[in-house]
Amino acid sequence: MNIIVSGCAGFIGARVCEFLLERGDYVFGLDNMSDSYDVRLKHHRLKAFGEHERFAFFRCDISDNLQLLSVCEKIKNLSVGGSVDSVINLAACAGVRQSIENPWIYYSTNVTGTLNLLEFCRSEKVGKFVLASTSSVYGENKTPFSEDMKTDSQLSPYASSKKSAEGLCSVYNSLYGIDTSVLRYFTVYGPAGRPDMSVFRFIRWMDEGKEIAIFGDGEQKRDFTYVDDIAAGTVSAIRNLGFEIINLGSATSVSLNEIIDVMERRSGKKAKVEYHPPHPSDINVTLASIDKAKRLLDWTPGFDIEKGIENSFNWYDANMEFARSIEF
């Protein structure tokens, strides 16, 4: 298959590209290489592809429609058969707290960018569209979060922008029949993860002997989901389903204090923890119901928190000089 992956240099996007290449697809990666976090980490992820004969990279901002259409025309000319089979939209401005500081860029990328890609799919009759959404759309809700719950009370511009993107996917399925899977990811972690996320920061702070900053009492819980499980679920969504919203999570909720306990056992070091007042945009507990993913995608998570943290430490240890230099 010829597959466009936007956000290919991102944490999840790079791993999705690797999975696609392993199964034999032709992958056309788009990324604007934004400096929302240290861009050297994005270059580090792209190195994994080397000069792979079935991977092509294009620097492109999906919120710029003219630029996107120009790049997509090049992709069509390079693709086997001259057409694109699927689009996986992993390009996004992510992060709950940062979205409060600059909501405009979140709507530009997450909503306008999604609209531009859907328009491309409509005009070129692309058979499949996959959108990366987020558990943040659930807001404060009863757990476990299931896809049929009402999601009318987001707590951040980030969550609101993703909910808007989901709505666009529903519209384009209804009007034009674009087969669309909306995947709600739960807190993703793993090797070469985003430096604004807790796992990367906690490992780094423990290594440097610095205090770990936690907003709240540390008992807030997240459904931490390992990146390889997320990537596998995303690739599994490239199938005919109509329009579906599907949770991808570990179905296990772990507190930040428990995460630190796991890290202390792995590192043999005692963490220094500093607690701060909770942030108003933070959800207290996230927990995914994954019955739908099991049924529709034949997918179940394969990594528990112990193994996932171990792999995260292993990457950090193997890339220590580089990891220590990453700017938060």
Across the range 15-26, mean pLDDT stands at 97
Structural domain spans, the chain: 2-325
Phi, psi of 32 (to 5 degrees): -90, -5
pLDDT band per the 50, 70, 90 thresholds, residue 268: very high
- Give tens-digit pLDDT for 41-97: 999 999 988 889 999 999 999 999 999 999 999 999 999 899 999 999 999 977 777
What pTM, to 2 d.p., does this model score?
A: 0.95
CB 286 within 8 A of CB 280: no
What average pLDDT does range 125-144 have in this prediction? Answer: 94
What is the predicted pLDDT for the residue at 279? Answer: 78
Question: Could you tell me which CATH number the domain at 2-325 has?
Answer: 3.40.50.720
Note the pLDDT of residue 296: 98
Token pair recorded at residue 210: 């610095």
pLDDT of residue 155: 82
| pLDDT interval class at 210 (50, 70, 90) | very high
Active-site residue among 26, 37, 158, 316?
Answer: 158
Average the pLDDT over 301-314 and give the result: 97
pLDDT for 93: 75
User: How many other CB atoms are there within 10 angstroms of residue 299's CB atom?
Assistant: 20
In this prediction, residue 51 carries a pLDDT of 82
Task: Give the Cα-Cα-Cα angle 12, 277, 316 (nearest 5 degrees).
Answer: 35
Note if 158 is an active site residue: yes
| Cα 171 to Cα 272: distance, rounded to the nearest angstrom | 49
Asked if residue 246 has pLDDT above 80, the reply is yes
> Measuring CA to CA, how many Å separate 261 from each of 188, 203, 271, 306, 311?
19, 12, 9, 10, 16
